[in-house]
Amino acid sequence: MSKICVGVLGATGMVGQRYIHLLENHPWFEVTYVAASPRSAGKPYKEAVANRWLIGSDIPQGVADLTVYDAGDVSSAKGKCSFVFSALEMDKEAIKALESSYAAFGIPVVSNASANRWTQDVPMLIPEINSSHIDIIASQQKKRGWDKGFIVVKPNCSLQTYMMPLYSLIKAGYPVKRMIITTLQAVSGAGYPGVSSFDMIDNIIPYIGGEEEKTEKECLKILGNVSGEKIVDASFPLVSSTCTRVPVIDGHTACVNLEFDLAENKKPSLEEIEKIFTSFKSVPQELKLPSAPDHPIVVRREENRPQPRRDRDVEKGMASVVGRLRKCNIFDVKFVALSHNTKRGAALGGILNAELLKAKGFFDKLV
Ligand code: NAP
């Protein structure tokens, strides 16, 4: 099978570099186009990332000598790739306009940026939870007069830690009414160079701009339903969050307290919850997508797990690792969840979205 040619917008950044690394030897996709800011445009990729290549292995040979294009010059992608991953860091409106230009040009966009997360006809995908939201793509294309192009996005990186455990409970028939989420987020979530070392070493920053709003709202769209030309948000759970930045390189942690919307005698026991978590499988596993984890939720019983350094790469960095599952004195249960923010939370999550689209035939007419 010949591979599908793909582009990476923002290829020189922290998430873009992850895409370049993770797409090396991908069974379905091959990177043939890289784009970034005018600062990098015109240079060979290896020169554009010289002194700021952040991955612990060499730049893939197939990409090192590709010329970096200005992502703002949409026509430069023509004939070079069938769809693009977007890992741009720019003003939100500028990203929105640029992603729309690619889609209008006939190039689908699988985005990591937050700009289009609230666009009502753009699905915000975690394939284990809401793969059916891709049904909205037909009406997105029709409404905007796009033929082949479309946009899908993925949610904020911190949500990946606890959304699959939450959804697995809801799917098993245990609706959740309220949640309190406290995140401890890695520095790589702020891009490179991100927060200064002087601020971060020996310290915790108790605020990440815009993050608490995303934590409190995005889960409702993910759990929502396609209705006509838009995705209608779920009404529950209500979420209250505190988001902090901690001196960890990779791996976001979330402390979760949740309350079920059920009478006391209908609530699941801790044993039942653990069983639901460990047996959870969904569409990516059924479709055997190349980047799908065999076990999307991994439960650790040791009292000192999960830990970022020990658990972030479980299941190729695609699992939600849950530990410290216990009773809550105020709500019903509490646990600690962890996921790799630049793998599941960014590039590999984006690749899983693209694999879902490919498996569902969305790229058939492009190759
Ligand atoms: P980053 O390291 O700052 O990289 C930003 C990229 O955007 C670079 O390739 C940069 O190119 C390019 N860029 C900046 N200004 C541009 C312009 N005017 N025109 C075209 N390209 C421009 O950021 P990041 O951490 O990789 O994040 C990328 C996106 O992913 C963001 O939208 C972020 O919110 C999202 N995200 C990040 C994470 C994470 O864990 N880091 C997780 C989920 C989602 P130059 O190198 O040429 O400047």
Residue 367 has pLDDT above 70, yes or no: no
Q: State the pLDDT at residue 366.
A: 64
Structure confidence by residue, pLDDT tens digits, 15-50:
999 999 999 999 999 999 999 999 999 999 999 999
177 φ/ψ sector (left φ>0, alpha ψ -120 to 50, else beta): alpha
| Centroid of ligand 1 to alpha carbon of 277 (angstroms) | 33
Angle between helix axes 163-171 and 270-279 (nearest 10 degrees) is 110
Q: Angle 307-214-182 (CA atoms, 0-180°, nearest 5)?
A: 35
> Rounded distance, CA 287 to CA 70, Å?
36
The residue whose CA is least distant from atom 20 of ligand 1 is 37
**For 202-217, what is each residue's pLDDT tens digit?**
999 999 999 999 999 9
Least confident of 1-5, 25-29, 108-112: 1-5
157 CA → ligand 1 middle, Å: 14
Q: Which residues are catalytic?
A: 157, 252
Among candidates 216, 234, 227, which has minimal Cα distance to 132? 227
Do 46 and 65 contact (CB within 8 A), yes or no? yes
The β-bridge partners of 252 are 339
pLDDT digits (tens, 9 = 90+) for 67-80: 999 999 999 999 99
Q: What is the pLDDT of residue 273?
A: 98
Q: Phi and psi (nearest 5°) for 88?
A: -85, 145
From atom 40 of ligand 1, which residue's Cα is the shortest distance away?
Answer: 189
Q: What is the chain's mean pLDDT, rounded?
A: 96
Phi and psi based region of residue 306 (left: phi greater than 0; alpha: psi -120 to 50; beta: remaining)? beta
Could you count the other beta carbons within 10 Å of the beta carbon of residue 101?
Answer: 17
Residue 164 makes CB contacts below 8 A (sequence gap 6+) with: 126, 128, 129, 280, 296, 297, 320
Average pLDDT on 316-323 reads 98
Q: What is the mean pLDDT of residues 168-173?
A: 98
What is the token pair recorded at 212? Answer: 């608490």
Confirm if 159 and 222 have CB atoms less than 8 A apart.
yes
Whether the CB-CB separation of 120 and 162 falls below 8 Å is answered with no
Task: Say whether pLDDT at 365 is over 90.
Answer: no
Residue 1 in this model has a pLDDT that exceeds 80: no
- What letter represents residue 53's amino acid? W
Q: Which atom of ligand 1 is nearest to the CA of 10?
A: 9
pLDDT at 256: 98
Name the residue of 46, 73, 88, 99 to mutate for ligand 1: max ligand atoms within 8 A of Cβ.
88
* Neighbouring residues of 63: CB distance < 8 A, sequence distance ≥ 6: 11, 20, 24, 31, 34, 45
Enter the tokens of residue 258. 């949740």
Q: How far is the CA of 129 from the centre of ligand 1 (A)?
A: 26
Using CB distances shorter than 6 Å, the residues near ligand 1 are 10-16, 36-37, 39-40, 71-72, 87-90, 112-114, 157, 188-189, 191-192, 341-342, 345-346
* Cα 145 to averaged position of ligand 1 atoms, centre (Å): 28
Q: Which atom of ligand 1 is nearest to the CA of 156?
A: 43
Per-residue HEC secondary structure of the chain comes to CCCEEEEEECCCCHHHHHHHHHCCCCCCEEEEEEEECCCCCCCEHHHHCCCCCCCCCCCCHHHHCCEEEECCCHHHHCCCCCEEEECCCCCHHHHHHHHHHHHHCCCCEEECCCCCCCCCCCCECCHHHHHHHHHHHHHHHHHHCCCCCCEEECCCHHHHHCHHHHHHHHHCCCCEEEEEEEEEECHHHHCCCCCCHHHHCCCCECCCCCHHHHHHHHHHHHCCEEECCEEECCCCCEEEEEEEECCCCCCEEEEEEEEECCCHHHCCCHHHHHHHHHHCCCHHHHCCCCCCCCCCEEEECCCCCCCHHHHCCHHHHCCEEEEEEEECCCCCEEEEEEECCCHHHHHHHHHHHHHHHHHCCCCHHHC
- How many angstroms is it from 88 CA to the middle of ligand 1? 4
pLDDT at 258 over 60: yes
Q: Which residues pair with 30 in a beta bridge?
A: 5
CB 214 within 8 Å of CB 118: no
Task: Grade residue 364 by pLDDT with cuts at 50, 70 and 90.
Answer: confident
Terminal-residue alpha carbon distance, the chain: 11
Asked if residue 290 lies in contact with residue 134, where contact means CB atoms within 8 angstroms, the answer is no
Residue type (1 letter), 247: P
Q: Which amino acid is at 284?
A: P
pLDDT tens profile 331-363? 999 999 999 999 999 999 999 999 999 999 998
